Structure formats: structure tokens, C-alpha cells
Homo-oligomer: A and B are copies of this chain.
């Protein structure tokens, strides 16, 4: 069991560096003093037990990783370079020190990959486990915003779409065939934040905007596109083989499943037609999703896909 806040701080200090080029005054005082770029990106996300994860199938390491990964993904969508984060931790008394150490180790490991400073936070006991991360970093010279794509522009996806939602279904149902879906499960438990990809894309002039697909493409496409525009999905857009397999098994439409599934932390971007070659060349895991049109709605070969979430497309 965690004996006290001091005991918790000992664990934190054994795992996270106490010095960092951007941390002038570190943890342990009332507030951290940070050396900051003039243009800062900041974002925060909650990660709560029985809302965003279950301890039944998330290991402590998965929890520590994902709580930070979902925040890194927001900065990735801004094309930002992450520098540090604050962690507010709600800790239920029944969890032991080992759990805490494993969870924070994994968070520290992901943080170290991006050379992040842990710049402060708070600890409180509570009924169930919860993590509230606030992350900050250096904004790119050109801001990556939504609503900038024009009809004719290419829409693309970096990373996977629809895998995490299949993974979630399989884990929730405790499916005995779980090991047939290693990528779906991994995508739900340990999404890889596309930080490097976001930074590279922000550096390509023809890229017009970027966003983090957390609620699924069906919900996030209308948030990304301007009012009065729509999307024509590429006729050759292929869903991931595991998603296809999952859908065949259950009689589901693979495309709709891929578009509706959330929490992949993939990046959705738009670029000019000319820019698409550069994007493809510079980003490995990138696929063309469709084209922006001047017809509100989402279409596949002239057929409107009546996907939930598209009520944001105002005509």
C-alpha cells in the first residue's frame, strides 16, 4: 500500500528525472518554473477507470502508457514538439505500491522516449483510479488547424482506423479468440502516439490541417471539414485485415466499422492534390482516405453513407 504522499513522491522521483532543460524549478515546490517557447501548445485529457479503461484487462503498464499517449496524441495533432506534463492522480486505497510503480514506470518510459519533463501534479485518494494529464510543448511555426481543407483537397489518415474499437469489443466480451487480433488489442491497450509524424506533417507546406481521431472518423470528419463541404471516400480505401476479419465473423460492414470506431489516436489530415506525393513519401503509415467535396455528407461512389455522427454537417 502507498503509505503517504511522501512515499508516492519517492517512487515518482526514482522514475522521472529531476532535472530537465525546460524545468528551472521542478517538482516539490508550489509550482514549477518552466523555460518555455514563446508559442506553446497545451492540452489535457482524463483517463478514468471504468470510463476509459478497466483494470480487468489493462495492466498497470498499459494504464500508465495510455494515459500519457492520449495526451501526446493531442500534441501530435498540433504538430507540436512535446516538452513536459503534469500528472494529477486519483488513487484508490486498495491498489498497492507495486501497481503504482509499474504504472508510473511505463509512463516514465514513454515520457523518456520523447524526453519529457514531469513538471508537477497532485495526488488524491479516490473511489477509483483516475489520471488527469496536462501536457505542453513547442508549437510548430505553422499551426495545424481544422476547417482549412478546400474541395479537391486530399484527406489522409496516418495510423490505424477502427482497430481499437474492435479491440475494445473483444476485450469487453472476453472473446476466447482474442489472440487472433493482436493488432486490434494492442491498438486499444497501447496506442502509439504519432508525435514524429505530426511534426513532419506540420513542416510540409501543402498540408492544410491535422487532427487527432479520438472519436472515430465518422464523428471527427465533420469536425475537421468546413461547413458546406463533404467527403468522397476513395473506392480503393481498404480496412485493416483484422478489422475485415472481425466484421466477417460478425456480419458487420467493414468500412462503416472502420469509420465509426474510436480511440485509435490516428491522425486525420488534409493536403493539396500536389502535396499528396510529398506526404506519402515522408510518412510511412499513411493512406489516402478520400477527397474533400462541396457536397455535405460522406459518400462512397455517390452513395451517401448514413453514418451516425454526421449531423454536424450542416447543409
Contact = CB atoms under 8 A, between A and B. Distances in A.
Contacts of A80: 31
A96 to B, nearest CB: 20
A302 interface: no
A36 B44 contact: no
A315 interface: no
A46 B31 CA distance: 14
Contact of A51 (B43, B119, B125): B125
Interface in A143-167: 143, 145-146
B86 A25 contact: no
A31 B36 contact: no
Interface string A1-45: 000000000000000000000001100011111111111111111
Contacts of A44: 86, 88, 120-122, 132, 134
Contacts of A123: 46
A74 B31 contact: yes
B124 A31 contact: no
Given A36-B38, A38-B38, A145-B25, A31 B43 contact: yes
A52 interface: yes
Interface residues of A, number: 52
What is the predominant secondary structure among interface residues of chain A facing chain B? strand
Contacts of A48: 90, 124, 126
Interface in A58-82: 74-75, 77-78, 80
A130 interface: yes
Given A39-B35, A46-B122, A29 B127 contact: no
A74 B143 CA distance: 31
A74 B42 contact: no
Nearest to A89: B46
A175 B80 CA distance: 53
B46 A132 contact: yes
Nearest to A134: B134
A42 B31 contact: yes
B30 A211 contact: yes
A212 interface: yes
Contact of A41 (B32, B38, B40, B75): B32
A169 interface: no
Nearest to A80: B31
6 tightest CB-CB pairs across the interface, nearest first? A134-B134, A31-B43, A132-B132, A30-B77, A31-B78, A36-B40
12 contacts: A24-B39, A24-B139, A29-B146, A30-B78, A31-B78, A32-B43, A33-B40, A36-B37, A36-B40, A45-B88, A46-B132, A48-B126
Given A31-B77, A44-B88, A44-B134, 8 more contacts: A25-B143, A32-B43, A34-B42, A38-B38, A42-B86, A45-B88, A46-B123, A127-B128
